[in-house]
Structure 1
Amino acid sequence: MITDFVEFLRSEKIVTDDQLATALCRQVSAMPAYSDVAFRNGLLSGELVVNALLLQVRERCGFKTACEKLGVWNADLEQKLTEHIHNGANSLFALLVEQGALTEAALAEALARWRSRSGSGVGSGAQRNPPLRAPGRLKEFMHDGAEVSLAITRAMNAAVEQGNWIEARQECDKMFHLMHRLKGAATFLEAEDLAAQADRAERTFARIMAFDPTSWSPELARQAVVLASALGECLRQLISVGEADFPQSKLLDLEACLNGLAKTEDQ
């Protein structure tokens, strides 16, 4: 996803290659070596690290290849090394903002435009989802969305509890796509207040996802879980909203979640 979005920024001339090169070089130069991460985090003993580094020099190979020849490289070690490196890495997009290549608002707008053109998101809803014409079809959409929302919220909760911000970010990405559905349904039902709240939620998620998971704070991630849960409840309520007005209390709950998240972002 990140590489596709970077290519979009290049093709649309939103940033220049020189600006990208500067940010990428800063990001890469700040990343620690596998050997350093393995030793500092206790993933490999000092003896194994020394043996691997000596073999790396002798055979002019990478640290991973050296570990493989010593028989100590495995999928679990690779995953842990990758997580440590990613968790300590500077966000490419935060670096672009920091060096003045982009503003946060421009980045969020670019992300929304990219999603609307990509095949992975809902984006151009008229092409990817059948239009909401009949109440029966609407209820089918909302029921499916509510089930997906519940599953996403549970998964995101688990990711946050385990401190896995990368997984939480992926679940947040799925929730972003539900915003299009929620906003479209609210518009169809002429529930203007809900449509406005959904629009705010969509833009909030776009800002969150404009940055790498490593830029999240635990509090921001927890707020995203609360927001996702509230939106899931809104989707469940929408199943029967064709016959009744949308509960104002649910709108107030959603607004409180959005306001709380906005305050966290400002800190």
Structure 2
Amino acid sequence: MIQDIQPSRFDLSYLQLDPAYEDTVLVFEGKKLAVKGLDPLRLPTYRDIHGPVQYLFSIDETHYFLALEKQEQLSYQDIHRLRHQQPKKEQFAAVTAYHLYVWYAKHRYCGVCGKPMVPAHSGRALRCPSCHNRIYPTIMPAIIVGVIHNDSILVTRYAHRTYKGHALIAGFCEIGETPEDTIRREVMEEVGLHVKNIRYYKSQPWGFDLNLLLGFFCELDGNPTITLEQEELAKARFISQDELNDKPDDLSLTNDMMMFFKAHGAHVLDCLDSNCH
């Protein structure tokens, strides 16, 4: 998945660090990222930009910074082009930096008193010098769930998105909900089904949409007749291992879960109980 950059090591420790000329700088304009090349993915360095920067994190010995001013002299690409770029550690760095870029951009002013926010010097936070309000990066938890019925898995297709491949039931955790509660609610809302035997699978940071994705499998409980919520989904159906023709993409939790089902089929829940993954 996108975060699997081993043997490289991601270190999010917050440092008060000045950039060197060869340090990497992430430069965004909305959903566009400045790049020096796409094959392989090459990002600007501090030598290529002007103006102030904010330290973000490191991967191995490379320090990554965020540019705080527009850089008209650079070439930009839509951030979603990163879904298939290599090297993997640069892809992950860019998407994680985008998550932080959006947070910084949306919290320039205090939500309590309206005064400008400044970086806190003790950890990844912003603080208000006037009223002392302190905020931390926004992370939105969401579930992805593979619903199993006999030897089949429930796959969906989104109604209003450009991506038209197979997806799984997904949705945001609401206030007061556990992820398991979210699963029960989202499955009922989107396809009108009850589920049981919920099992945790894996998680994934997904900076494209500021999410922390939590993957689960569960079992259909009762009638398999689908009632489609057409505002969210164009299609939903149960398909077998043999019908699932998706290929590994080494990127998303959804794909990883479908590949896990493709490998284990009706034994998915038993495999999770025995920790065979």
- Please confirm whether the aligned pair reaches a TM-score higher than 0.5, indicating the same fold: no
Task: Kindly indicate whether structure 1 or structure 2 has the higher relative contact order, using CA contacts under 8 Å at least 6 residues apart.
Answer: 1
Question: Which is higher, the Rg of structure 1 or of structure 2?
Answer: 1
Q: Output the TM-score relative to the length of structure 1.
A: 0.30
Q: Answer 1 or 2: which has greater helix percent.
A: 1
